[in-house]
A and B are shown apart, each in its own frame.
Chain A
Amino acid sequence: MTSQIIDLASWLLIAGGGIFCMIGALGLLRMPNFFTRMHAASLIDSLGAPMLLLGMILQSGFTLVSAKLLFIALLLFFTSPTATHALARAARARGVGPDLAEELPTATDREDK
């Protein structure tokens, strides 16, 4: 009974992860400029991938395989935002404009939201 529930949960997670990866890739294609594309890519890194990995962990149970999957998830958890941040920083230093919708609100006038 419990094994069936775990099975169902893992398939749901894997299906959801696949769908989110596809949505992220679609966003990568649809978004108009570089900075907005990066948000779509971070959808793949921070939701699609962990869901897929968690689904596989549930599939493989309490074994070394799931330990390795956990390492992959942790590796992504630490490295993907780092790479994204490095990209954004390098792009800005190189003068790729973020193409804003409004003027830059400063730290002071964010209080009156």
Chain B
Amino acid sequence: MRLVSTFLVLFAFWLLLSGFFTAFLMVAGAVTALLVVLFSRRMDIADREGHPVHLAPRAVLIYWPWLTKEIIKSSWQVATVILQPGLPISPTLVRLRSTQKTDVGRTVFANSITLTPGTLTVEAGRDEFLVHALTRSGARDLASGEMDRRVSEFEREL
């Protein structure tokens, strides 16, 4: 079942890349997608972790808009910090507790932290992250745990 959906996603990827809908290229795309599915099974990467299609709707509709807003907000802060002549930085390392249950959820959390400028994940452990923040206020925002809560909510219903 998962292999079928992987196949469909990869075939759609091919069609969007190609844009030529001749018979030969369609067949080539289908063969390609099939080969890649089989090969990724052989490489042992075609499991639930490697193809989290069940998360896609929630990601696109709920999580990404919020993340975009966060990125814009913190980018603005970092940009003003860079442009000030005094360079008012106060680098901080924070340990955060993460409440995600799966590795995909932890990865989403870690990458969301890194993606927002001003904070970056240094160490992603099982239930504790080591985060470096450019300013103390950025670290405090992160420690309020809103992002953690949203990621946990997003990865639920697995």
Q: Which residues of B have CB within 8 Å of A84?
A: 114, 120
A31 to B79, CA, bound (A): 12
In this complex, what residue of B is CB-closest to A45? B115
Q: Which residues of B have CB within 8 Å of A45?
A: 115
Beyond known contacts A88-B121, A105-B143: 14 more, CB 8 A cutoff: A31-B87, A32-B87, A38-B120, A47-B72, A77-B115, A84-B114, A85-B111, A85-B122, A88-B122, A92-B123, A102-B92, A107-B95, A113-B143, A113-B144
* A interface residues, tally (CB under 8 Å): 43
Contact present for A78 and B16 (CB under 8 Å): no
Q: Which residues of A have CB within 8 Å of B111?
A: 78, 81-82, 85
* B interface residues, tally (CB under 8 Å): 42
Contact present for B114 and A64 (CB under 8 Å): no
Contact present for B134 and A39 (CB under 8 Å): yes
Count: A-B pairs, CB below 8 Å: 125
A27 is an interface residue with CB less than 8 A from chain B:
yes
**Nearest CB in chain B: distance from A54 CB, A:** 10
A100 to B122, CA, bound (A): 14
A46 to B111, CA, bound (A): 11
- Most A-side CB within 10 Å, residue of B87, B96, B124: B87
